[in-house]
DNA sequence: CTGAGATCCTGTCTGC
DNA sequence: TGCAGACAGGATCTCA
């Protein structure tokens, strides 16, 4: 479900809403996720203080004195803030209650999300091989070109590869490629240095614009208070039938996932 | 090592 | 209505 802008939006809202960061109770409702939730987490977290909440790639990370919680929302993960005596719904997986009774519940229909407790997050298998943040200076034309130039995979696959650059999923891959006038099925090694420069610029532009509008809500995505994001209205190709130029958009499957492009605007 | 397809899971929509 | 099949914002695993 959520790509970088959605996770960023949720993470910021979560961080902002925490007033007393000490954990009163952590309760597992249904441990079955992408990986089973460790049943020691409730006792590990009880009484601990959250020092920081941040985003890395599509993960939300809570830091404590002696370790971290790593949360991934998968395709359908939703974090909701709720009342002191919350109603539990179908597909709820865990509840986090803070000292001031602020309560957060994680719901995930498809169970592709995950929750891990780690003592050293930098060494954790989910984190250690992640690529650069797309909105950082590390993500440059030079960096991407080095990654692209010898690869045979289609360029959309490459920019969605979290070991190269993080946070880009199926929507923003199509959007960024449209913005940079590159077809998603181009072989990576055929991308020129100037196209690469445009692609880097487009990725940064599309992601930061979406963050500004609170992310893209197509189906499941909601931020903490149940509200949708507004970037859907700004999409140029994903889920649409026609390009701005009037041409009918083409849908191709790339590694099994729908990819939208305009044959007239993208080369 | 690289790259592509299968896979985990549930809900929704389309076509017969 | 019923039912099969396709599809959904992710990413790991498996195999050629």
For chain A of 267 residues, list the mean pLDDT of each consecutive stretch of 10. 93 95 98 98 98 98 98 96 91 97 96 97 96 98 97 98 98 98 97 98 97 86 86 93 96 96 97
Domains A4-123 and A141-261 share a fold: no
Closest residue to B3 measured CA to C1′: A153
Residue A167 (CA) to nucleotide B3 (C1'), in angstroms, measures 21
Q: For residues A221 and A73, give the distance between their C-alpha atoms in angstroms, rounded to a whole number.
A: 10
Q: For residues A67 and A165, give the distance between their C-alpha atoms in angstroms, rounded to a whole number.
A: 25
Beta strands in A119-256 (DSSP E): 250-254
Asked if A264 and A245 touch (Cβ cutoff 8 Å), the reply is yes
Residue A169 (CA) to nucleotide B16 (C1'), in angstroms, measures 34
What is the domain partition of chain A in residue ranges?
4-123, 141-261
Asked if A179 and A172 touch (Cβ cutoff 8 Å), the reply is no
Q: What is the per-residue pLDDT across A137-149, written as a single tens digit (0 to 9) for each?
A: 999 999 999 999 9
Nucleotide nearest to A232 (CA to C1'): C9
Q: Is the pTM of this model over 0.85?
A: yes
Asked if A166 and A4 touch (Cβ cutoff 8 Å), the reply is yes
Residue A214 (CA) to nucleotide B6 (C1'), in angstroms, measures 34
Which pLDDT does position A1 carry in this prediction?
Answer: 67
Q: Which fold has domain A4-123?
A: N-terminal domain of MutM-like DNA repair proteins (3.20.190)
Nucleotide nearest to A34 (CA to C1'): B8
**Strand B bases, protein C-beta under 7 A:** 2-11
Asked if A2 and A58 touch (Cβ cutoff 8 Å), the reply is yes
Residue A108 (CA) to nucleotide C2 (C1'), in angstroms, measures 28
Q: For residues A108 and A76, give the distance between their C-alpha atoms in angstroms, rounded to a whole number.
A: 5
The reply to whether the CB atom of residue A34 sits less than 7 A from any atom in nucleic acid chain B is: yes
The CATH class, in words, for A141-261 is mainly alpha
Which residues of A participate in catalysis according to the annotation?
A: 2-3, 58, 257
């Amino acid at each position: 479900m959520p790509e970088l802008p959605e996770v960023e939006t949720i993470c910021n809202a979560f961080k902002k809403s925490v007033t007393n960061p000490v954990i009163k109770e952590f309760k597992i409702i249904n441990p079955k996720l992408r990986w089973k939730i460790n049943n020691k987490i409730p006792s590990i977290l009880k009484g601990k203080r959250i020092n920081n909440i941040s985003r890395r790639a599509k993960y939300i990370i809570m830091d404590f004195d002696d370790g971290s919680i790593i949360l991934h929302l998968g395709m359908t993960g939703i974090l909701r803030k709720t009342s002191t005596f919350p109603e539990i719904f179908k597909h709820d997986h865990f509840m986090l209650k803070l000292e001031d009774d602020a309560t957060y519940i994680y719901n995930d229909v498809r169970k592709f999300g995950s929750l891990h407790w780690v003592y050293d997050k930098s060494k954790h298998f989910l984190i250690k091989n992640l690529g650069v943040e797309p909105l950082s200076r590390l993500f440059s034309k030079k960096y991407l070109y080095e990654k692209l130039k010898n690869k045979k995979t289609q360029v959309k696959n490459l920019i969605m590869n979290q070991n190269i650059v993080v946070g880009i999923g199926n929507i923003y891959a199509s959007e960024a490629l449209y913005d940079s006038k590159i077809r998603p099925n181009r072989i990576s090694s055929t991308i020129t240095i100037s196209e690469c420069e445009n692609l880097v610029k487009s990725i940064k532009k599309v992601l930061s614009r979406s963050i500004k509008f609170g992310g893209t809500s197509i189906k499941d995505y909601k931020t903490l208070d149940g509200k949708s994001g507004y970037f859907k209205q700004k999409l140029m190709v994903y889920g649409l039938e026609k390009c701005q130029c009037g041409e009918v958009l083409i849908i191709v499957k790339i590694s099994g996932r729908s990819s939208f492009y305009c044959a007239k605007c993208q080369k």
